[in-house]
Each structure stands twice: as structure tokens, then as C-alpha cells.
Structure 1
Amino acid sequence: MFGLCVLAGVLVAFLMMPMASGAGAVVNQTTDAMASMSSSLAKRDMPQVSTVTDRDGKPIAHFFKDYRVETKPEEVPENMKSAITSVEDKRFWNHGGVDWQGTMRAMASNAGGGSTQGASTITQQYVKNYLVHVVAKNEVDAERAKETTIARKLREAKMAVELERTMTKEEILTGYLNVVPFGNQTFGIGAAARTYFNTTPDKLTVSQSALLAAIVNQPGSLNPETNPQDAIQRRNTVIDLMTDPHNRYVLTKEDAEKAKAEPLGVASPLGRPPNGCVGLGDGTTDGFFCEYLRDYLEKSGIDDDKLETGGYTVRTTLDRRASDAAKQAAEKQVPTQTEGIANAMAAVEPGDKHQVRALVANRDFGNNPSAGQTAYDIVSRVQPFGAGSIYKVFTAAAAINQGRSIFDTIDVPPSYTSQVFKNGTAPYTVSNAEGVQPGPRTLQMALATSPNTAFVKLEEQVGLNNAVDMASKLGLRQGMNGVNSSGSTLDEDGSNGPSQAEAVKRNNRGAFTLGYTPTSVLELSNVAATIMSGGKWCPPTPVEEVTDRNGNPVPLKEAPCEQVISPQVAGQLAQGMSLDDKVGTSKQAAQAAGWNRPLMGKTGTTQEHKSAAFLGATPQMAGAVLTYADGSRPRGICDSGGDAPPFLCGEGNIYGGKVPARTWYDAMMQVHAPLPVVPLPGG
């Protein structure tokens, strides 16, 4: 009796005194926050799931540290309130935040051991869980909030009393149900209802509510997925407790027996959505887009921590129809399981904003290489292989920008030894690809037939530096300035530099116009979008809008658009590339697809046939395809044509007009089917 009196005196004194400095001050700050917390404040502060949707608002991905779906008091059914109070705090509706009888009994029984167990009210548990799962910034803070000491118990009691003075019982109970863990990385009743029953809290049955109340007690050992027998036993115990006549909501004995007779009914698999970009289920067209979005948001002011806790809704630019069409075309030409060959495609819509509509590959985005998956973004990031003769576009653009016309005649010798560029210490000699005839032709026809010798000569005339700078201006920003010559991202201190652009310039590499350097498929697509946008470069954005948990717009720190070449130069360049599907290197693929609308296009192939690409655009959509050897021992790619997929071989025979062009035309035929025919600019 004496011991109980001492403990009671300590408790009363503690509750009446202000918090001390130091660690107590930190707790006092938390107390103040808890004391002033209303349902709106809780909604703002509670870690929430961020949802990513396509352009039409259909969810494609979720990001979270804790899977939590905010629930309002009116959305919690009476049977859930009864279940949780019956098992966790039967005097909840009557006490003032602390169950004095239970607390004194627990403190007396544990006084000798220096810790307290049991007797926590729901209000106290709300405080503790809020401190652990919301306030704590790291594991150390979380452990301090959970320590089983009398001091922690007293602080917790003080906070609970303060909380009861400023919030209603309904708000406290809902707040508790929103923050408490239910196992399987699921927090709060809203997420638990979806995870275990694929439903919403307001639709929970008696047996479902009882099971969730049971899980709260021991979410690990009572996991209904792995330990169903113990879970159902505990559930039935909760149901029996719900028949107590002292409950606010009393379950009849008859209804209790019916509820106990029901199976667990847990969803299989559990209804919790995948977290992040890997493992998006059947949405295999979304993984690469999702990963690019995550990187883009981080650079634009929403880092991973904010994304995983902020409760944002991110409506993206992903066009489901375009993405599905591109995915089908990529896999048709190079099936997913094709060993050692990747086929990646990006699509960007020209205009005032360069909105990314599709980022796909024959590979799926995931962690199972044996299933043809990769967890590396092979579509938006710079890849180790080049796009070949597509880079001739940059030399042509530099020439037009200096006053040349696409109808100017240029010389096409069968071979050419440069007096400007070097191959190491030796003179740089280049010849044309097989089938390319020598002889003078217009720059427009040269872009269609792609003679190497003509563009090396033209590169001498316009200046290598100008051609390299043009590539960066038109869209190869990361590819030229953000990576080194091997395609690796430059360190902030530049220790692994120089950049790819600087290396080309320093070493006077005339082969730049032949496209040997590492390339990003997305950036290549954005080059075409820049040309089709009248020479205006914009960052390829995957974002339509971002709103916070309250529906308010969230501004992003996106790079501004730039007028990099004049509309007249852009129009001439588009017209200069307008013959590729008619008399150029993609003619056969265009005819096979039934293409019949104006287009600017360019094919490209690297010297050893380890990669090939196609770049094409209409005023409505721009896109690029890169087909390359992505294995650990890359070899040449052989394209036998017809229905047979490509394969790795010795010397290789793939060209940009084969797999890449066929992929582009197949996809873009579907994308453009409902769109009107629009002429190219500059005509």
C-alpha cells in the first residue's frame, strides 16, 4: 500500500509539473504538437502514400515507407470501434486518457524491475505510435519512444491527458486507427482494410473488424497469411469480447456465433499495392516510365523521402495507348527472352511542353534477369552504345544554322581522308556503307541516303565543336555534358571526366557525326521533338501535375524551355529529313507498315553492328528506337528479316532501317491512327 501511494504521488506530481529542459524539452515540444493536433493537422503530418497515375488518372504506381490510407472518423464503422476498444481499452469512452486503475496496478507489479508493462489506454497507444511512426526521424528516436521505463510511461500519460483535453474521443480513436501498424508493412485501418480484404473501412464486417483488432495486438505472430490458426483464435476472442454489455456497441450472442463461424477471408495475394517502380504486376509498360519519373521528381524538388511520405498525387504524361503500342512493337521485333539484345523506344509529344508519352523496351522492368527483366533504366538513361548516322542530323543542323540550304549540293566521294581529323596519330579515313553510291547530291538527299564521306567533309566545314554543341542544344543534354566517354555519370567534382562532349572536342574526333558515342533513347526522341517544336527545346517532362494530400498544386523546379535554333532552321531541318520513308534507308520498313503521312526520319548504325537506331517524328509525336547488344559480352546483331527475331552473331548485319525502323513504324501507326494528317513545318 505504501508503494502504491508513493507511485501515485510521483504520477500526480509529474502530470502537474512542466517538462524539464533537454530531453524533456523535446518531449514537451511533442506534447504541444499533440495537444494542438486536430484531424486536419493529423492529416497533414501523417506519413501518406503517394499515388502515381497515367494522364487519364488511372493509378500506375505507389510510393510509401508505410502503406497508409487516411480514414475519416465517419468512415470507421461501429463494429470496428467496438472491436478495437473491446480488446485494447474497454474503458476508452469513460476515462480521461489514462486508465488509473490499470496504470497503478501495472506500475506496482513492475516497480521492482524498473519498467512498466500493460495498462496503456488507446489514447496512450496513440501517443506512442504517433511518436514512433510520425515524429521519430530515425531508428534511435523510435526506440526511445518505445523504451519500457517508468519515465517514458509517465511522459506518455501526460501527453494522453493533454490530448484528451483538445480532441474528441472519435478523433482520438480515428487518429489511433490511422497510425497503428497492422503488419505486412501496413499502417492504419484504411490500408489494412485494403491489404487484407480488398475493401474500405466503412464496409468492414464484424469478423473482419475483429481480425484487424486482433492483429494490432501482435502483428508479427498473428499474421493471418502465415499463421491463420492463431489469427482466427485471437479473432474469435475479440468477437466474444464485443458481446460485453458495457460496450457502446454491443454484439449479440447470435451475431457473434455467426461471425466466429466465418472463415478468415483474407485476400490472396494480399491487396497491398507494390511499392515503387519494380514489380508493377501486369503493368510492364510502366516500369521504365516510373523510374524516370522518380529521378525527374527528385531533381525537381520532391526527393524520395518526400515522395514516400508526402501523400502526393502525381498525374503523369504517360499515354496508355501510346505506351502499349510501343511495348507491343518492341516485343514483336525483339521478344523479351531474346538473349543479349535490347530494343528500347521512347515517345515525346512536341509542343509548348515536351511531354513524355511512352518509355518502353522489350525488357520488362524488374529484378529477374532470367525472365528478361532489368532494374536499370535502359530507356531514359544514357546507354553505352551509339545511335550511328542519326548524329549526322547535328552536322546538318549546324550547316543550316550557318546559312546552308537543304538543296545545296554536297560532294559524296567513295572514300575520304580528312586533313582535319585524326584517328589516333594516323589520318582519319572513312568510307561509305555498303550500297551507298558515290556522287554529288543535295543535303536533303544525303540525309536520306546517309553517305559517311559527305558528312565527315561537311563536319570539317561547319566545325566539329559546332556540331557537338548542336547535339547538346537540340536535346542530348545529359548525353553530351552529364556523362563521360564511357557513358558513366560524371561525378560532381568531375574526377571521372571529361564529359563526352569535351572528350570529342579535345581529341578532335571526326567520327562524332557517325554516332559512335553513348546515347539516351529518350534524349534522342527529344531531339526530334525540339525540331518539331520550331527549334524550342524543353525538358522531356513526365509530369502533368502534382498535388499535395489536400489537393493543392505543388510547383516543380523544372528547367525552362529554350529557343535553341530559329523556327526557320528547324523547319528546313524537318524538310531535310522528310525523304527517309520515301527514298531513304527506312523506305522498306515504312512500306511494310503502310505508312502514308509526312514524316521526318533518320536511321543509324554503329560500325560493328552492335547497335542500330531510328529517329522519326510527325508534328504530333516524336520517337526514337535503339536496338543494341545488352549482354556482358556484346557482339554484332544479325537481322534475318521476316518473322524471325534478331540474334547475336559474329560481324552482324543489323541496320537502323531494319529492327529499329520496323519497331518505330509499327508503334506509330497505332499512335497516329485516330489523328489527322498534318504537314511538316517548313514546307
Structure 2
Amino acid sequence: MPAVFLARAKGLSKLLGLCLIAGVLVAAVLFPVAAGFGAVSNQAAETVNNTSAEFEERMPATISTITDMHDTPIAHLYHQNRVIVPPEAISEEMKAAIVAVEDHRFEDHEGVDWQATIRVALQNQMAGDVQGGGSTLTQQYVKNYLAFVVADGDSEDPEFQAATETTIARKLREARIALDIEERMTKDEILAGYLNVVPYGNEIFGVHQAADAYFDTTPDQLNVAQSALLAAIVNQPSTLNPIRRPEQAIERRNLVIQLMADQGRFSEDGAEANQEIGDEIKQEPLGVLNPLNQTSHGCVPAREGTVNGFFCSYVINYLLSHGFDLEEIKRGGYTIKTTLDPRATELAKQAAENHVPKNADGIANVMAIVEPGTESHKVRALVANRDYGLDSEQFQTTIDLPSYVTTFGAGSIYKVFTAAAALENGYNINQTLDVPDVYTSPVYRGDGGPYQVRNSGNGYPETMSFTEALATSPNTPFLPMQEAVGVGSVVNMASSLGLRRGMNEVNLSGTAIQPDSDNGMLNRSQGEAVTQGNQGSFTLGAGPTSVLELANVSATLVSGGVWCPPSPIEEIRDRNGEVVPIDEAPCEQAVDEGLANSMAQAMSRDTTGSGTAANAASAAGWSRPMVGKTGTTQNYRSAAFMGATPHWAGANMVFGDSSRPGPICNGTPPVQCGSGNMYGGHAPARTWFQTMTPLHEGLPDAPLPAADPRYS
């Protein structure tokens, strides 16, 4: 055919293609069957500019990753399972495979293949309806972007329907946007954009996740056979699923390989060499992982294990409470570096299960670890003897055991708040306290009469020092102490030192208060209910408690009285690597530094002599200075231990987590029983010391600060 004729034909085809885009000539000549086409094309033209703007501004949803303090991923959150990679991170084999099967003239056109478009238009004319075909990779990029980015893959979304319907309007819009894109992006960028956006079946989007899921590799390492399979899957991700339909998948993969051979993409030595290489590659097995290497979604993990689920859940709730939007997190490609210490977590998990086995019937053993400081209180571990998960038969739960406010109390640990409030109101750590066997309050009322407390067991001396009382924990000295300062003062001290959610955000049933509720008295916070009801039992710690907040209380005490929010966040970066600020509450001097130091000294005897945690400390070989306090509720349904050094702070709590919790008996293992005898010095303290003893290895024996003369 003469060259001049070819040039004229090419020019004519481009002219006809431009007329197609404008909706003029093709509407009148090639598509007479499309009634009302002028109105359709005008409507399409009106939406093109808006869609082009959305196309340019809307970023593809991509995975957000939660990591530990060492940048190791512990969880992923996503709306679509996708990781965006640049062109240079995709193998040339992958690029060649997708071009070979989808658009072998990709490098030659400017977004619209005029020859193919006119050919398909003529075929449509002959068929009498509008069919698919003729779309370039750039147009397919547009289609998939509109369907899976702009419309989020929602088949009910009008934008999704418009992007996938077989109509002239859709073709016009794709072509118009494709032409715009080719002016703004290089071919390599368009190709990478397409490979990053398209679905690969099995809820996988983008070539990065496809390479990982199907072959446990990265997109830059994809070979020809792997690339050909992924290029085949893109065409029909459901019907060519290589797990369910391997024969169909390998047939389509080999077709892609054949096309690559036909197009000379393997060798410059001619058709025969290309065919030989292609035939050899066709003999390779699919090589697909079974099961697939799926990326877990959320805090219930797939491959990573279950130890970090409670921490992950706390991170998400913390972000939500600080103004972040969960859907935006799932779409935004954030990297959320947390404060989680994997070694502390592993040690705490082992200890929790050692002292209350994972399969213990109806008994949870929970631990939280916080790093003290005057500039931050970083949460380092949140664990339980239970695993975080959905299978209750495997003793899993998605209840945030270490961080939520449990309905169970911490018992005598609350005497710390009474003691601290007393120091603030004129007491000192060396003064002598009366220790009667029974104390009847002239201030507080109980069931049917004055409120009365007695000590747990006999053998206490008639008097003891303030410090000895905290170490050995008789009940009777602390009720008159609370009377002297007022229960409201003790509640305020509990909140100041760290029980902020527990005192201010939940009621006595452990349920979050609703500020706009009309429930009146039932909707009061725990702190309000205790104060307004003048409840003498508060000092004995019967009310709802958060184990994490207990750990933070001990961190506050060894940080010179500086309270900081128990933060799980080290740093947040967006998909571009820019730091995203989080508006956390500032640290504050919650109590006088001298008071905090004096309380630390007053709490330093619990692990020595006749202290309630002395046996547990001795069994672990513990000899470091520390603050500590045990607690047991009256009916033995919960027991706890709180302790800290200048290096680490933590709290443990054992309580019932069944639908009908009962008293707990100490034993190996602990069990629910008729009367109960579980104390804070038993499983809670043993778990604490088993965790903290190796965690302190190599650290100096830091002394506790001296007591302030004003409080001694």
C-alpha cells in the first residue's frame, strides 16, 4: 500500500476518533442505533470535567500499618488491600506482560488508539448495539480508577455503574480523561498507576499486594511466569482464580506468555528464539501459595500471632478519641508507630499464662506496663492470659481486657488514694495509726445501719505506722482516714493520680456515661456517685477499675507526681512520609512532687518483711527498691497488684471473665470456687514479678526518691 495512502488513512482515523470524542460525527453516522445520543454525549461531557478533577484529587485507598517501637508491623487497617509502589518498584517483566495482553500499542498512542476505536465502532454498528473493546491501558486505568478509587468499588454507587456500564457516554468520558492523563503523566507512570489500582481477585488490589499474596515476593522481583499470571488474573479475577480454577488460570497465563513471544518481548534474536523461550516458560507450574499470603485486616491477626491484639485495639480507640476518623485511617496509608515493646509484651504474656492458664475456666489474668517519666508515659505492653481473637472456644476475646474499665475492683490498692489524700491534708508517713479489729463508722452508712469494716484475718498489732499500714494492708485504719479528709478528696486524688476514665467517664456498673442522657442518678460517673452518695467503701476499692490506669497511677507516683496520658503513639506519618500531629493531653503536675516522693517511700515496704507481696517478690529473687500495693475485693472475685520502679511501672489484675463470675481460689491453676481466697499477693503479684525481674536485667538499681520532710 503506498505510503501516502497510509498517511492519509492514519490522519482520517485520527480525525474520526476526534469526532467520536466530540460526539458529533460518530453520533450521526456510526451510532444511529443510539437514540438520543446527543443528549447522552452532552451529559457525559458535563460530567467529564468534574470527574477529571476527582480523578486528580482522590487518592487510591491504601493500607495503614501499625508497628511496634522497632517499626515491625503488628497490624494493618485497610478499606482496600493495596500498597502503592512507584514505577521503578515494578519489574519490567510485569510491565511487559500487562502491555502484551491488554494494549500492545501502548507506547504508540496518546491515550486513545484511534484505529482500534474506529474498528470497534464499526463492529458495534454492524452488531446493532454498543459493545466493549478497543480501550487502551490508559482508558482502562481511567475505568478502574473511577470504579475502585472514586466509587470505592461500591457497585451500588452511581459512579461505579457509570464507570463499568457498556455505553457510549462511558467510552467518551474514558477517552477524554485518557487524553488529559497522557499530557500529564509519562507512560511508565500510567502503567504503574494501572497496576497499582486494579483488583487481582481474593480482595487484593494492586501489584504489590498481589505479588505478596500469590508468590510471597515483591513486585520488583516478579519473573515472567508470575507476571503473566497476574496479567491474566486482572482480566477476569473471579473466573481465573488460581486457587479454585488452576487449569483455567494456567491456560490464560500461557496465552499471555504466547502473546509476549509473538510480540518479541523475550529476545532480539527473532521469532524462533522468542517462541523457544516462551515454550520453556509455559512449562513452569503456577507456583501460587495455598493458602494465599493474605494481609490481615484489623486487630484480629492472621499470620502475626495474637499477642498484640489488645494493644492494637487500644491504639485504634486512642486515635478515635483524639479526633481521627477510622475510615480515613483505613484509606490513608498511614504508618502508625506505637510504643509497644515486643520484649515486655512477650514476658508479660508468658507470665500471665503461667499463673493463670489460657484455658482457665472463667478467670482472666491481665497486665499493663507503662514507662514512667516526666515528659511522657508510654504504654509498653497490654496482655492477658486470653488471646485476642474471635474464637471463644480457643479462649479468645475481643474485649479490651487490659485497657477497658472492668466492672471489678482493685480492692485495697485504693488505699493508696486515701493515703495520698491524707498526706495532702496533714498526715505524715511515719505517724501512728490505730488498728482495731473492727471499725464502725460514725459518718458512713451501710445496709441497715452504720458502715462497718473489719480486717482480713487476725494478728495485726493495735497500732502501726502509716507506712506499715500500706505494706500490711489492714482495713480499719483507712476508713477513719477517709472520714477525716472526705470521700470527695479521695476520689479527686484517684483521678489526679491516674484513674481518669474510671472516675470520670464510667458509672458504677462500668458503663460509659452519656452526657445527654436523661437517666439522672443512673448516669452519674463513678466519681460523682461515690462522692454524692458518701460511700465509705470507696477506700476498699470495690468499684470499676482499668488495669492500664492502675499501671499509670504507679508511673505517676515514681515520676515525681507528674501525670501523663498513657500513650500508645510514638509517631504517625501519612502516605507521603509527613508527620501527622496528634493532640494529646499534656503532662501535668498532678500532685506535689514531695507528696509523690513521700508516697513512694510509704509504699516501698510491700515487698519486704511482712508486706503483702513479700512472698511473691522473694520467690522471684527480687531485691530492687520499688513501690507496690496489693488489693483484694471482699468477695474474692478480683485481686490486683500495682508496682513500679523508676524504670518500669505495671499493674496486674485477676478477675472473672465469664457470664457468671464467682469467687476465685488460689491454686495451680486458680479456679472459681464457693468461697474464694485469691489475694493480690498471689497470682497478680507473681505475674508482675515474673515479668519485671527479667525486664530489669542490666538496668541500674535506681533508688526511690527521698521522702519530703513536710510529709514525714
* TM-score normalised according to structure 2 size: 0.90
Amino acid at match of 1:134: V
In structure 1, the residue matched to 2:61 is 47
1:238-261, Cα deviation, whole Å (9 max, x unpaired) = 111111236598781122122111
How do residues 497-516 of structure 1 correspond to structure 2 at under 5 angstroms?
Answer: 497-516=523-542
Q: CA 1:54–1:339 in 2, change beyond 3 Å: closer, same or farther? A: same
The size of the alignment, in residue pairs, is 670
1:668 equivalent among 665, 670, 692: 692
1:637-670, Cα deviation, whole Å (9 max, x unpaired) = 1112xxx210111111100000000000100001
In structure 2, the residue matched to 1:286 is 308
Structure 1 contact 116–150 (Cα < 8 Å) conserved: no
Between 1:230-239 and 1:363-372, the stretch displaced more is: 230-239
Q: CA 1:280–1:28 in 2, change beyond 3 Å: closer, same or farther? A: same
Cα shift at 1:26: 5.0
1:593-632, Cα deviation, whole Å (9 max, x unpaired) = 1101001100001111111000000011110001001101
Q: CA 1:436–1:447 in 2, change beyond 3 Å: closer, same or farther? A: farther
Q: CA 1:548–1:6 in 2, change beyond 3 Å: closer, same or farther? A: closer
Q: CA 1:491–1:108 in 2, change beyond 3 Å: closer, same or farther? A: farther
1:18-50, Cα deviation, whole Å (9 max, x unpaired) = 99998865541331465xx5xxx88xx232211
1:298 equivalent among 320, 331, 334: 320
In structure 2, the residue matched to 1:150 is 168
2:593 equivalent among 546, 567, 573: 567
Structure 2 contact 637–661 (Cα < 8 Å) conserved: yes
In structure 2, the residue matched to 1:262 is 284
Cα shift at 1:101: 3.4
In structure 1, the residue matched to 2:90 is 76
In structure 2, the residue matched to 1:578 is 604
How do residues 15-414 of structure 1 correspond to structure 2 at under 5 angstroms?
Answer: 27-32=48-53, 34=55, 45-110=59-124, 115-136=130-151, 139-140=156-157, 141-245=159-263, 252-351=274-373, 352-414=375-437
In structure 1, the residue matched to 2:5 is none
1:606 maps onto 2:633 in alignment: yes
In the aligned structure 2, how far is the partner of 1:66 from the partner of 1:666?
Answer: 42
In the aligned structure 2, how far is the partner of 1:274 from the partner of 1:538?
Answer: 32
Structure 2 contact 41–172 (Cα < 8 Å) conserved: no
Percent of residue pairs bearing the same amino acid type: 53
Cα shift at 1:109: 4.6
1:93-152, Cα deviation, whole Å (9 max, x unpaired) = 212212333333444555677643222211111111111222236651333332332212
Amino acid at match of 2:262: D
Between 1:630-639 and 1:97-106, the stretch displaced more is: 97-106
Cα shift at 1:265: 0.8
Structure 2 contact 41–168 (Cα < 8 Å) conserved: no
Between 1:445-454 and 1:298-307, the stretch displaced more is: 298-307
Cα shift at 1:275: 1.2
Q: CA 1:450–1:230 in 2, change beyond 3 Å: closer, same or farther? A: same
Q: CA 1:666–1:120 in 2, change beyond 3 Å: closer, same or farther? A: same
Which runs of 5 or more residues in structure 1 are unaligned? none
Q: CA 1:436–1:181 in 2, change beyond 3 Å: closer, same or farther? A: farther
1:527 maps onto 2:553 in alignment: yes
Q: CA 1:205–1:523 in 2, change beyond 3 Å: closer, same or farther? A: same
The alignment partner of 2:261 has SS state of coil
Cα shift at 1:9: 8.1
Structure 2 contact 239–245 (Cα < 8 Å) conserved: yes
In the aligned structure 1, how far is the partner of 2:122 from the partner of 2:585?
Answer: 64
In structure 1, the residue matched to 2:9 is none
In the aligned structure 2, how far is the partner of 1:110 from the partner of 1:382?
Answer: 66
| RMSD, aligned CA | 2.4
In structure 1, the residue matched to 2:28 is none
In the aligned structure 2, how far is the partner of 1:448 from the partner of 1:123?
Answer: 74
Between 1:4-13 and 1:668-677, the stretch displaced more is: 4-13
1:458 maps onto 2:481 in alignment: yes
Cα shift at 1:505: 1.5
Amino acid at match of 2:65: T
The alignment partner of 2:347 has SS state of helix
Amino acid at match of 1:75: A
Amino acid at match of 1:498: R
The alignment partner of 1:144 has SS state of helix
Amino acid at match of 1:130: Y
In the aligned structure 2, how far is the partner of 1:419 from the partner of 1:249?
Answer: 98
Structure 1 contact 436–449 (Cα < 8 Å) conserved: no
Q: CA 1:627–1:540 in 2, change beyond 3 Å: closer, same or farther? A: same
Amino acid at match of 2:585: A
The alignment partner of 1:68 has SS state of coil
Structure 1 contact 414–438 (Cα < 8 Å) conserved: no
Between 1:392-401 and 1:18-27, the stretch displaced more is: 18-27
Cα shift at 1:331: 0.5
Structure 1 contact 637–652 (Cα < 8 Å) conserved: yes
Q: CA 1:5–1:614 in 2, change beyond 3 Å: closer, same or farther? A: closer
In the aligned structure 1, how far is the partner of 2:469 from the partner of 2:223?
Answer: 72
In the aligned structure 1, how far is the partner of 2:692 from the partner of 2:507?
Answer: 33
In the aligned structure 1, how far is the partner of 2:437 from the partner of 2:527?
Answer: 29
Q: CA 1:433–1:188 in 2, change beyond 3 Å: closer, same or farther? A: same
How do residues 395-434 of structure 1 correspond to structure 2 at under 5 angstroms?
Answer: 395-434=418-457
Structure 1 contact 90–247 (Cα < 8 Å) conserved: no
Q: CA 1:638–1:488 in 2, change beyond 3 Å: closer, same or farther? A: same
Considering only CA atoms, is the larger Rg found in Structure 1 or Structure 2?
2
In the aligned structure 1, how far is the partner of 2:558 from the partner of 2:382?
Answer: 19
Cα shift at 1:209: 0.2
